[in-house]
């Protein structure tokens, strides 16, 4: 069995793009791997969240992942800041991370551009903290999106460097977890590109029926097909893609055929799409609300997760300290 570690940003609610693009696969991944899922709340400090928001966003993310099917009995789901071994490994790894290579990472360069008034050292060493998250569990596989590939590469670099410096094979090189064919790109409602956090482009699992109807009815379309069997334009193809994810094959075939013979009415398509999204998300939404209101369950889950994570983390840290040469009198 492989050890898989999945880091979750502690900001924002999950939208359908996150669900079909990642979270649904995480649920399957935990069946045949030794999985760690954690909420990266230390990382979030690089953007200075208000103290009253810090915990709430962790709670939201935890509730949503649990509602989607991350199973705390099969996996370890924990909050990063509950595992104090992570910052110690981070400190140790920092000694062998070079300022030059950190400055050259694209995520750092992006951040300098987006927050020029707050270029803190946490941003510079973000990849080191991420490497500590991964290496503390000696993870073999890490599911990452395109934007995190370079950070994962840095984690491999730090693992190899540690092994080389101390003439050991201690850390495995963490590789990307590959979902293969199952990776779905979910389009947004604004006519172009992926579903994301842009206003109006996404549907959140927590959205209620009225919100979903409103968003879908406002989705960008075009002026309609003019010749039979024409290839749909991007906004229309996007609606068909969404329909395929949440509706029955009959329903999506029905509208695609109507498009082909030019009899389609986008209003009808949208109404159907909205209702099918609602049917799909309603049980998840209910679960999110239920879990989010159950403080005792959240407390217990986070505690059990942290215990599992600390068991693995403290063992690694002990080994690392010994390899480096620390000794107690």
- 138's CB contacts (< 8 A; 6+ apart) are 3, 171, 172, 312, 316
Active-site choice (74, 157, 197, 315):
197
Taking the complex as a whole, how short is the minimal distance between the CB of residue 65 and ligand TRP, in angstroms?
A: 13
Write out the DSSP string of 42-56. Answer: HHHGGG---HHHHHH
| Minimum distance of ligand TRP from residue 108's CB (angstroms) | 12
Look up residue 322 and give its two tokens.
Answer: 């010994």
Both structure tokens of 309: 């994570």
**CA-CA distance, 242 to 253, in Å (whole number)?**
13
Q: Which one, 40 or 212, has the nearer CB to ligand TRP?
A: 40
Q: Considering beta carbons, is residue 40 or 236 the nearer one to ligand TRP?
A: 40
In the residue annotation, 300 being an active-site residue is answered as: no
Strands 34-40 and 3-9: parallel
Closest distance of CB 298 from ligand TRP, Å: 21
The DSSP code sequence of 10-48 is SSS--BHHHIIIIIHHHHHHTTSSEEEEEEEHHHHGGG-
Is residue 327 annotated as a catalytic residue, yes or no?
no
CB 123 within 8 A of CB 42: no
Which residues of this chain interact with ligand TRP, rule CB under 6 A? 5, 7, 9, 40, 43, 130, 133-134, 142, 144, 148, 151
Looking at the Cβ atoms of 28 and 299, the one nearer to ligand TRP is 28
Catalytic-role residue among 157, 194, 271, 287? 194
Q: Does residue 111 carry a catalytic annotation?
A: yes
Would you say 148 or 312 has its CB closer to ligand TRP? 148
Which residue numbers are catalytic?
A: 111, 194, 197
């Amino acid at each position: 069995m492989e050890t898989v570690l999945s880091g979750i940003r502690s900001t924002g609610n999950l939208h359908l793009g996150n669900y079909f693009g990642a979270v649904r696969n995480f649920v399957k991944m935990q069946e045949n791997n030794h999985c760690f899922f954690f909420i990266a709340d230390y990382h979030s400090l690089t953007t200075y969240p208000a103290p009253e928001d810090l915990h709430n966003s962790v709670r939201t993310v935890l509730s949503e992942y649990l509602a989607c099917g991350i199973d705390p009995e099969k996996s370890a789901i924990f909050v990063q800041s509950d595992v104090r071994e992570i910052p110690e490994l981070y400190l140790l790894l920092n000694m062998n991370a070079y300022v030059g290579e950190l400055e050259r990472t694209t995520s750092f360069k992006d951040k300098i551009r987006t927050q020029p008034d707050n270029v803190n050292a946490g941003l510079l060493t973000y990849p080191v903290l991420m490497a500590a998250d991964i290496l503390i569990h000696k993870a073999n596989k890490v599911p990452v999106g395109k934007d995190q590939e370079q950070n994962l590469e840095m984690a491999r670099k730090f693992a190899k460097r540690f092994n080389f410096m101390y003439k050991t094979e201690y850390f495995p090189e963490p590789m990307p977890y590959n979902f293969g064919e199952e990776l779905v790109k979910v389009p947004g409602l604004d006519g172009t590109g992926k579903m994301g956090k842009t206003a109006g482009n996404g549907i959140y699992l927590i959205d209620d029926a009225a919100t979903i109807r409103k968003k879908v009815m406002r989705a960008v379309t075009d002026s309609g097909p003019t010749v039979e069997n024409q290839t749909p334009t991007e906004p229309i193809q996007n609606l068909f893609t969404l329909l395929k994810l949440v509706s029955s094959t009959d329903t999506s075939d029905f509208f695609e055929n109507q498009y082909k013979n030019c009899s389609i009415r986008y209003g009808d398509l949208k109404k159907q799409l909205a209702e099918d999204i609602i049917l799909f998300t309603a049980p998840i939404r209910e679960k999110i609300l239920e879990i989010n209101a159950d403080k005792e369950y959240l407390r217990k889950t986070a505690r059990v997760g942290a215990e599992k994570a600390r068991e693995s983390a403290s063992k690694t840290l002990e080994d690392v300290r010994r390899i480096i040469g620390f000794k107690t009198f």
